Amino acid sequence: MKEINLINTQRNKLFGFYQKVRIIKTIIMGLDLLLILVMGLVFLFYSISAKKLAANESKMRLIKEEINKLNENESILIATNERIINIEAITKASSPKADLFSLIKLFFVPGFSLTSLEVSSGKSSSIVGTCVDTQCLFNLNSKAEELKEKKFFSEFSIDNTSRKDSDPYEIKISLKQ
């Protein structure tokens, strides 16, 4: 008959329990130490960062002071820029009239005589003149077609052609650049 040693069994059980407790204790202590280490490191980095922030703040203040010393230069630069923007806007909005003169002169075919010239705001203009004969009228029309073909202007129309007795032909032209 086999014997059952109760004391040994109990001792073994207790030994296993204490073994487990020791392992758990070691793990808890390790975790505690790890948490303390992490906290310490974070506090260290935090204080370093806070110092860096303060240093940056003072560096920024110094740069700003330097910039303030040059505020006259900055003001001049900004005022110049504002003017350039406005000058660009003005020149874009206005159409130069000098170009129109050279364009209108192209209509001066032989026999044509200019009576008046009107350039309104924008790019439209009207020419009133006289042509001595039908050949001149034909030449003027051909010239206009040629110039329109070359895209010198976008619109061209002969608004009115009239003749009184044997006077030259009176002609009114409207054109748009």
Residues lying near another protein in the complex (CB under 8 A): 14, 17, 21, 25, 28-29, 31-32, 35-36, 38-39, 42-43, 45-46, 49-50, 52-53, 56-57, 59-60, 63-64, 66-68, 70-91, 93-94, 96-98, 101-102, 108, 112-121, 129
Rounded-to-integer distance, Cα 149 and Cα 100, Å: 17
Q: For another protein, give the closer residue by CB, 48 or 146.
A: 48
List the Cα angle 90/93/96 in 5-degree steps.
95
Beta carbon of residue 137, minimum distance to another protein (angstroms, whole number): 14
What angle, 0 to 180 degrees and rounded to 10, lies between the N-to-C axes of helices 6-69 and 71-93? 70
Nearest-CA neighbor of 142 among 112, 176, 98, 99? 112
Beta carbon of residue 93, minimum distance to another protein (angstroms, whole number): 5
Neighbours of 137 (CB within 10 A): 20
Q: For another protein, give the closer residue by CB, 74 or 145.
A: 74
Q: For another protein, give the closer residue by CB, 109 or 148.
A: 109
Beta carbon of residue 2, minimum distance to another protein (angstroms, whole number): 26
Beta carbon of residue 165, minimum distance to another protein (angstroms, whole number): 15
Length of the chain: 177
Q: For another protein, give the closer residue by CB, 2 or 92.
A: 92
Name the strand (E) or helix (H) holding 127: strand 124-131
